Structures are given as structure tokens and as C-alpha cells.
A and B are shown apart, each in its own frame.
Chain A
């Protein structure tokens, strides 16, 4: 525990900031990637217009959290940036290319005439592949990355494993649930009814996925099994699965009672619990299985320089985000504003 004492508070704060940025990204781009995943299954082309319009003013803002997560890692934990990114070279390539094609679809789709169906496809496939790649990155990250002399040592296909692919599929369903519940909040009529039906099915698949990942993870690394199943940890950590079950039940009820806002909030809460579970499994490792957050942390001089700015920039970002969402509040319908 000696290394924790040295500069530990600063490093803890930075773990919190980077963790927060990644989680914000998962939530915010999660629902708009989810909309892309649901996109081709929507009942009508007008519904697709509406779905896109619900996120048009905020999508590039949501995606900025991804850059913040990446840049935060680079600044506060440079070695993690230098190891994790090369280890995930191919899945990240897929993610970047997919994000390009889905991002430009926002601008091009409403612009195109004959070619519109191509941008519909680009939006769907881009969202699907970006999400799948993120899940794969997550899964293979949990499994661990070999490091030697501060660099990744492994093959270009090191990330490929059944667990990683399963995580990719699970995240696709998870984001689709976020997207469906977001649309329940922001739309009305037949589209909203369709989203209720989709959300109910997606929720069941998500729960199966969460349960499978939760049971699979401890078998990957002995240290994770020990974290959860040794005493007294088992006792202290048992609220995590219990609260998850309660949230799932509440979400089911909210969908049954056709509540507007609650399904989205509860879906986000499910993500928060899964994220917390993941953090508990990995702590204190930043690059499992060997590199801890203390070893990866940038020197205090760097941490302090950045923290001075963050202390007021992060709150102001959250402030004007809230304002921007408030400006574009309310239900979006196909007829509104567009043509």
C-alpha cells in the first residue's frame, strides 16, 4: 500500500475523471448509437426521420466524450494510452471507420435524394459496427493485455476471443435498449408504441447478457474471482447484483405502465451498475492483469496542471450540456421542423 500514499489523492481524482468521461460517453453516445442499431427496423421512413431528429442537435457533442476519454487517458495515464490502443489496433480501426460513416450520415441523409438508402445503411451499419467494436475492446480489455517495458507485446489478433465477441454482441443489445428507451421519452404515437415493444424484448436479452458476462468474468482471471467470492467481500459486494435485480424489475414495471421518462433513467441506472461491477472487478488495475492505476499515473506536475482547469471546466461543460438538452426538450414528431 506504500505507493498509494504517494500522490494517491491526485491519482484517485484522475481515475474518477477518466472513469466519469468514459461512462458519460457510454451513456450519451450509447443512446444515439442505439438509435442507429434500431434504425432499419423502424416501422416507416418518417419514423426514421423522427428518430434521427431526436439526436441531430446533440450527436457530435455526445461523441466528444469519446475524445475526452481518449485524451484523458493520454494525459493522466500515458502508458495506458500507449498500451491499450496498439493492443486494440484492429477493433479500434473498425470503430473509427464505422463512426465516420455513421457521423456523416446525419449530414448526408437529409441531403441525398436517390442515394438516401445508402446513408440509411451507412447509419445502421456504422452504429452497429462501432458498438460491436467497443464491446470487443471492453471484453478483451477485461481479459488482460501483456505489457513489457511499457509497451504492448502481443499479436495483432490478441484481442480476439469468445468472451470479447460475446461482450460485443451484449453491448449492441445494451445500446439498443438505451436507444429504445430514449425514443420512448422523446417520441409519441405509433413510433413510441413500437419502442415500448422493442424495449421489453431488448431488456430481457440485456439481462441475460449482463448475467452471462457477470458469471463469465470471474473465470477469466483468478484475481477477479477472489475479489467477488472471498469473505467478507461477498457480503459487502452483494448489493451490486441485488440492486441490479431491483432496477430490472422497476424497468419492467415502468415499461408495463407506459411511463415516459422512467424507462430511460432506469436503463441508464442498469448501465451504471454494470459499470460499477466492472470497476470492482478490475480495481486497482488500469491495464489488467499487471499495471495498477498508481503505476500508470502521470507525475503530479502533470496531474495538477490539468486539474486546475478541469475543476471549473467540467462543471461548466455539464452546465451548458444541460442547457442544450433543455433547449431541445420535448417530444419530436416527424412533421415538426422538417420539411
Chain B
């Protein structure tokens, strides 16, 4: 592969956004979970809710910090590496990003300060409100950024003059055809991701016979949410897929590994797609099942890659597998939910060590599924950056040189390796330490809130190690 500014910019974008998305994926759900725990603490005065909230707030602070610094990179990268895209779509997407900043980023940043450091400085109700506003901020952020992303998949409400996009109807821009599906699918995915982390950590404490009360509370709440969301997510994913079939059929063909298209299409379970020969090798499929899933009819006709000109096809070699990975994890999540129900009815949820070990192993699956899903949808949009209108190759900064692009890519890889390495190390130390005890009193016996969130954990870490 020849190195040119285009491919380097694409790799850099994929790299930086993949790292960035891990943090919002986790913090959106976590913010809501913390707000719920704070509400329970204010409502019941039970110390366990407060100490669990403080524990997860420390983890939230670390993750949020990493999300902020990697997010600033994103907001500048649009301009530095994709200046033709910026100039062409700025009239349309600029305001959506701007609304994300003013409705979400400021809200999160301002009230996170109060949530972290303000417990002893503001009334209890204000502290709870701060927790709720941080959660609201993370959700608003998801709303705007997913709207902007969806518009690039299913652009609507615009006209093109002199090669640039001008808005004709803002409602159609914001609520473009794929947005409701993408928003529902992604927010559910983020809640599932957080739930699996909370369940995994709680299971880890149960296995280690530590923090048993906190662990049971966390495990019970997380698994209850998983039981609701896992089946819901499979339904939402199917709906989103049908929406993609309607608006981006070439992407569906690539995801399904289907070259010919037509009726009675098999569901391909395994294949090695060959772009040169326009066929699959070693294909194993279930006859007519793809037609059934996509059209709800065995004889339904589905799209095939060969129906599209070669220069308008996404490359199936990655999306075929990332899609299967995502769907596989979806069904794994459903299995966990079902097993949990069986164990709960038999009253053995908190005593089944084998299940707890599985849950510990399942901690990262939400992150993996989210990355796999985004790889599927973004690579599946290629060769377009704005689907059907603007090619990725025409979006890159014309003045960018190979040397500059290479320098920036290497710099980001090195910096992120150091930062995320250290971050993961500190995160694991925090998780191993666990929650600290808080009395069931309305007035805490002493000021327990640290000036820095992480400093509170330090003495106990020293003791634990």
C-alpha cells in the first residue's frame, strides 16, 4: 500500500476516534448510574449508595478526563486533515457540533466539578442535581454527535450550490432518516457496556469475597438492566439494519458478504471475501435465511455488491467480520441475561462462582461490540464520506503532505499509548481497591470528599497493596 495523505489521515482518524469512543461508551451509562445512586442516597440515607456512588465517581473522573483530552483532538482533526469536507459541509454540520458544545460539553464540565469536589460545599439537593445534569450532558452530547454522524450516512434537508451544502430544512437535517435508529442503537449499546463493566467488577469482588454488600447491589442492578436491554438491543439492531437496507443497500451487501444479490439469499456464516475475483472463498451459509432476515420473506430479493459500480462499493473484507463480531456479542449478551434469570429464580445468583467468572470475562465485550459496530457502519459507508455525494478521497486537506501526516499519526500513536497505558494502570488499581465504607447517617461523620477524586483512594491503595 502506498502511503499518501489520504490513507494516513484515514488511519489517524480511525485510530483517534476508536480510542476516544471507548470513553463516552462507558461514561454515558456510568453518569446515569451515578445519578441513580445519588438519588437513592438522598432518598434513603443509606450509606452504601453514597459509597458506591463515590467509588464509581472516581472511575468516572478518570475516564471523563481521558475522554475530554481525546475529544479535543477530534474537534481539531476535522479541520486539519479534512479541510475540503469542513468547507463543503460546514454550513450543515458546524451548527450540530456547536450545539453539542454549548448544550452538553459546558454542562458536563461545569457540574462535574461540583459532583467531584462539591459534596461538602453545596446542599445535598444541588449535589444530586449536579449528578443528574452531568448525566443529561452526556446524553445531549450523544444526541448531537450522532445526528451529525447520521447525516453523513443519510444526508437530507439540503441543496448543493457551487459544490457546497446549504440547508433547506433544519428539521430534516437533525432528524435525518438513519438518526433515530442510530441514536437508539448506540445509547442502548452504551448502557449495556457500562452494565457489563459494573457486573464484571461486582462479580470480581464476589469471587474475592470483598465488599460483598456493594458487590451484590451492583451485580443485581446491572444484570437487571442487561436483562431488559440485551433483547431490546437485538430488536433495535434489526430495525437499524432494515433502515440501512433502505438507504445504504451497498453497505448491507458488504456486511452480508453477498456478491450476486437476488431472492433466496443465504445467510453467510463464514467466508473469505475476495474483492479481485468478486466472490467468496470457503463460504458456509444457511439457505434463504438472509432474505428472511432482511425482507421477512424467504423469496425476498436482497442487494448484492455486483449490482453497484466497482467504484461505489464498500470493501467487504473488514465489515463482513466486524458485523458478525458485533452480532455474536449481542447474542452472548442475551445468553448472559437468560442465565441470570434462571439463577435468580433459583436463588443462586450470588453464589454461582462459575457465572461470576464468566461475568468477569465479559467485562470488555460491550466495548468490543461498539468498536465492531462502528467499523461496520463507517467502513460500510466508503467510498463516500457524505453518502452518495462527497467521496472520502475528495474530502482530505489538499495542502497536507505525507511527511506531516506521518508525523501526526506517529505522534498520536505514541502519545495515546503512553496516556492510555497509564490510565488503564490507574483504573485497574482503583477497581482493585474498591469502595470505601460510609455510615448510614444523614450527616457524614467527617469530610470524606477529597479535594481530588483520586487522592481519596490513595491511602486505601497503600493499605491494600
List residues of A whose CB falls within 8 A of some B CB: 53, 56-58, 60-61, 63-64, 66-68, 70-72, 74-76, 78-79, 81-90, 92-93, 96-97, 99-101, 103-104, 106-108, 110-112, 115, 150-156, 298-299, 301-302, 305-306, 309-310, 313-314, 317, 320-321, 323-324, 327-328, 336-339
Contacts and interface: CB of A to CB of B under 8 A. Distances in A.
Nearest to B447: A337
Contacts of B100: 71
A320 B401 contact: no
Contacts of A309: 99, 102-103
Contacts of A306: 95, 98-99
Given A155-B399, A298-B91, A302-B94, 14 more contacts: A64-B101, A68-B105, A68-B106, A78-B87, A81-B90, A82-B83, A93-B80, A101-B415, A107-B423, A111-B454, A305-B170, A306-B98, A309-B102, A338-B455
B27 to A, nearest CB: 13
Interface string B389-412: 000000001111101100110011
A100 B459 CA distance: 27
28 contacts: A63-B72, A64-B105, A66-B72, A71-B94, A71-B98, A71-B100, A74-B98, A79-B87, A81-B78, A81-B90, A82-B87, A85-B79, A85-B80, A97-B411, A100-B70, A110-B454, A115-B422, A151-B83, A155-B401, A156-B404, A299-B91, A301-B91, A313-B102, A323-B110, A327-B113, A328-B118, A337-B117, A339-B459
Given A92-B80, A153-B399, A156-B403, A317 B75 contact: no
Nearest to B68: A60
A298 B94 contact: yes
B109 A97 contact: no
B90 A68 contact: no
A67 B68 CA distance: 10
B113 A57 contact: yes
Contact of B66 (A96, A104, A339): A104
Contacts of B99: 306, 309
B86 A81 contact: yes
B450 interface: yes
Given A151-B83, A156-B403, A338-B450, A56 B117 contact: yes
B102 A86 contact: no
A61 B66 CA distance: 14
A75 B98 contact: yes
A108 B107 CA distance: 24
Contacts of B454: 107, 110-111
A26 B261 CA distance: 57
Nearest to A100: B69
A87 B83 CA distance: 10
B84 A151 contact: yes
A92 B76 contact: yes
Contact of B73 (A100, A152, A153): A100
B422 to A, nearest CB: 6
A299 B86 CA distance: 15
A64 B166 CA distance: 28
A64 B170 CA distance: 26
Nearest to A78: B90
B167 interface: yes
Given A101-B419, A151-B83, A74 B97 contact: yes
B98 A99 contact: no
B94 A150 contact: no
Nearest to B16: A96
Contact of A82 (B70, B84, B168, B449): B84
A112 B421 CA distance: 13
Given A107-B454, A339-B455, A313 B103 contact: yes
Contacts of A321: 106, 110
Given A74-B86, A89-B404, A151-B399, A60 B109 contact: yes
Contact of A111 (B72, B83, B97, B458): B458
A214 B89 CA distance: 37
Contacts, number: 250
B109 A61 contact: yes
A310 B102 CA distance: 8
B450 A96 contact: no
B371 interface: no
Range, interface on chain B? 35 or more
A115 B110 CA distance: 29
Contact of B75 (A70, A150, A301): A70
Contact of A90 (B90, B105, B109, B404): B404
B62 A107 contact: yes
A85 B113 contact: no
Nearest to B83: A82
A287 B114 CA distance: 39
Contacts of B167: 299, 301-302, 305
A154 B73 CA distance: 23
Contact of A320 (B64, B76, B111): B111
B426 interface: yes
Nearest to B398: A151
B71 A67 contact: yes
A92 B74 CA distance: 12
A338 B419 contact: no
A218 to B, nearest CB: 29
B102 A317 contact: yes
Contacts of B168: 301
A111 B425 CA distance: 10
A299 B166 contact: yes
Nearest to B89: A78
A324 B86 contact: no
A93 B101 contact: no
A140 to B, nearest CB: 14
Nearest to A57: B113
Contact of A75 (B65, B68, B94): B94
Contacts of B208: none
Contacts of B68: 60, 63, 103
A133 to B, nearest CB: 12
- What 8 A-B pairs are tightest by C-beta distance, nearest first? A78-B90, A75-B94, A85-B79, A337-B451, A57-B113, A82-B87, A61-B109, A103-B69
B102 A324 contact: no
A63 B72 CA distance: 9
Given A75-B90, A90-B404, A68 B101 contact: yes
B101 A324 contact: no
Given A64-B101, A100-B69, A154-B399, A85 B84 contact: no
A100 B419 contact: yes
| Residue in A85, A90, A321, A338 whose Cβ sees the most chain B Cβ within 10 Å | A85
A107 B73 contact: no
A305 B121 contact: no
A201 B98 CA distance: 40
A96 B76 contact: yes
A299 B72 CA distance: 26
B116 interface: yes
A86 B452 CA distance: 38
Contact of B65 (A97, A106, A152): A106
